[in-house]
Amino acid sequence: MPAATAVKVPGRRHPASWAAWPVLAVAHAGLLLELQPLATWFYPLAWWSYIAILDGVLCRRGEAPLMAWPPRRLAGVAAASWAFWLLFEAINLRIANWYYVGVPEMWPLRWLGISLSFATVLPLMAVTARVLWPLAWPGPCRVRPLALTPGRLRAVQAAGVLFLALPLAFPRYAFPLVWGFVPLLLDPVNHRAGRPSLLAQWERGSARRFVNLLLAGLACGLLWECWNFWAVGRWVYTVPFLSETKVFEMPPLGFLGFPPLAVAGYVFTVWVDGVWAKTGAVTRALAAVGVLALGLATLGGMDRLTVDAVVPRLEGVGVLAPAERAALEGAGVNSLKALAALPDARLGAVAARAGLAPGHLAEARAWARLARLKGIGNAHAARLWALGVRSVADLAARGPEALHEALGGAEPLPRLKVWVRAARRAG
């Protein structure tokens, strides 16, 4: 956040940073043991803890920490972050590069968790960039000064229009361009208004801020993908042409999108700060209402198109009657995870304690393993079950195109490819 980078305060401990460590530890324990609601809410717990911990680093260096800003300012940054990421979610409704699984079943809780997560995007990239500022590139990072003319600024903005229009028009081939349109459109606006601008820094022969943001974006991207890979509530990629090889959940080339995302976040923040400072109360209120309406509409679109599966629970196993499920819980198998992990050696004993036939319990276990695979969930497991896909091995034996046809196109083909690929790897 540009307004706070130059502020110096006496070095001291930051209370939030010390409180963040146990919160982060508890969140990881909940994720490891799949304790609810910690496992489902891992992402916002982890990232807000991360922001507070790096705030402590800034505080010990004598800089103003993000969470030491007035609460109204911090709430504004979180709201801007929510709007910033929902812009990309709206675009993803068209380009379909990722979808979500393992989210809360009740939509108010789902939207709250999504919003708290999206509210971290700008703060975490900003605080990472500030921590890296004296470390990642301590020199001036001199470059050849860029001569900017009104015509060149218009050309940069025209490129920004293309970087937005082409992915929307040709999502299968032009999707990578989407990460560059925000800085190309808005940095010339910031430059003309006399606000902090990357173009102005290039004009003065310095690329230090630009390099700092690229490194911060890459650092955040690596941690994003690491935590996402293990999380219960997470996203899954369906990027065209890049689905076979992955680091965590991300195709290796996909990591190239995180550095420009940090650049976009910085430019967007500067633009919002500048516009907000010059608008009156009525205009601000109207803008807030408009952004809120568009954001809620995008959340609704996500529920229809990119939120694919809620957290799978034991009560959603379609082959178990309520009484059978209660008996199974009485036998010590009280979660879908426990059912899926039931070994063959214990199957007979657990079935006897629950009063179930061993074959029926094995069938329920196969359902659980199918529902947990790549976040497929119980609803999708029921659809697959109706097609005769009764296990992960059955899914691995199917072709995604044949499944797509059998389902009448109800499931997007890229997601079916993700499921089948995961089933084959599991086998």
Enumerate the β-bridge partners of residue 142: 206
Number of H helices, E strands in the chain: 20, 3
Report pLDDT for 136.
Answer: 61
- Please determine, for residue 213, whether its predicted confidence score (pLDDT) is greater than 60: yes
Instruction: Give tens-digit pLDDT for 251-291.
Output: 888 899 999 999 999 999 999 999 999 999 999 999 999 99
Contact between residue 298 and residue 90 where contact means Cβ atoms under 8 Å apart: yes
Helix, coil or strand: residue 167: helix
- For residue 41, what are the contacts with CB-CB under 8 A and spacing of at least 6? 27, 113, 233
- Please determine, for residue 242, whether its predicted confidence score (pLDDT) is greater than 80: no
The Cα 207–Cα 200 span in angstroms is: 10
Contact between residue 384 and residue 395 where contact means Cβ atoms under 8 Å apart: yes
How many other C-beta atoms can be found within 10 angstroms of the C-beta atom of residue 161? 12
- Identify each DSSP E strand in 88-203 by its residue range: 98-103
- Please determine, for residue 68, whether its predicted confidence score (pLDDT) is greater than 90: no
What integer is the mean pLDDT of 386-412?
93
Report pLDDT for 14.
Answer: 67
Long-range contacts of 66-75 (CB under 8 A, 24+ apart): 66/1, 66/4, 66/123, 66/126, 66/127, 67/14, 67/16, 68/9, 68/14, 69/4, 74/123
Q: What pTM value is reported for the model?
A: 0.91
Instruction: Give tens-digit pLDDT for 317-354.
Output: 999 999 999 999 999 999 999 999 999 999 999 999 99
Instruction: Give tens-digit pLDDT for 98-119.
Output: 999 999 999 999 999 999 999 9
Listed residue (58, 62, 67, 63) closest to 16, CA to CA: 67
Contact between residue 27 and residue 42 where contact means Cβ atoms under 8 Å apart: yes
Listed residue (279, 259, 271) closest to 199, CA to CA: 271
The Cα 403–Cα 384 span in angstroms is: 9
- Please determine, for residue 9, whether its predicted confidence score (pLDDT) is greater than 70: no
- For residue 168, what are the contacts with CB-CB under 8 A and spacing of at least 6? 91, 94, 95
- For residue 69, what are the contacts with CB-CB under 8 A and spacing of at least 6? 4, 77
Contact between residue 96 and residue 412 where contact means Cβ atoms under 8 Å apart: yes
The Cα 101–Cα 315 span in angstroms is: 18
pLDDT classification of 2: cutoffs 50, 70, 90:
very low
Encoding tokens for residue 130? Answer: 């500030």
Instruction: Give tens-digit pLDDT for 70-91.
Output: 778 888 899 999 999 999 999 9
The Cα 49–Cα 123 span in angstroms is: 12
Report pLDDT for 248.
Answer: 84
The Cα 98–Cα 93 span in angstroms is: 9
Encoding tokens for residue 258? Answer: 């995180």
What phi, psi does 236 have (nearest 5°)?
A: -125, 135
Helix, coil or strand: residue 390: coil
Distances from the Cα of 301 to the Cα of 121, 292, 294, 368, 386, angstroms: 20, 14, 10, 29, 27
What percent of the chain shows pLDDT beyond 70?
A: 94
| DSSP of 55-117 | HHHHHHTTBPPGGGS-HHHHHHHHHHHHHHHHHHHHHHHHH--EEEEEE-SSHHHHHHHHHHH
Encoding tokens for residue 395? Answer: 């899914």
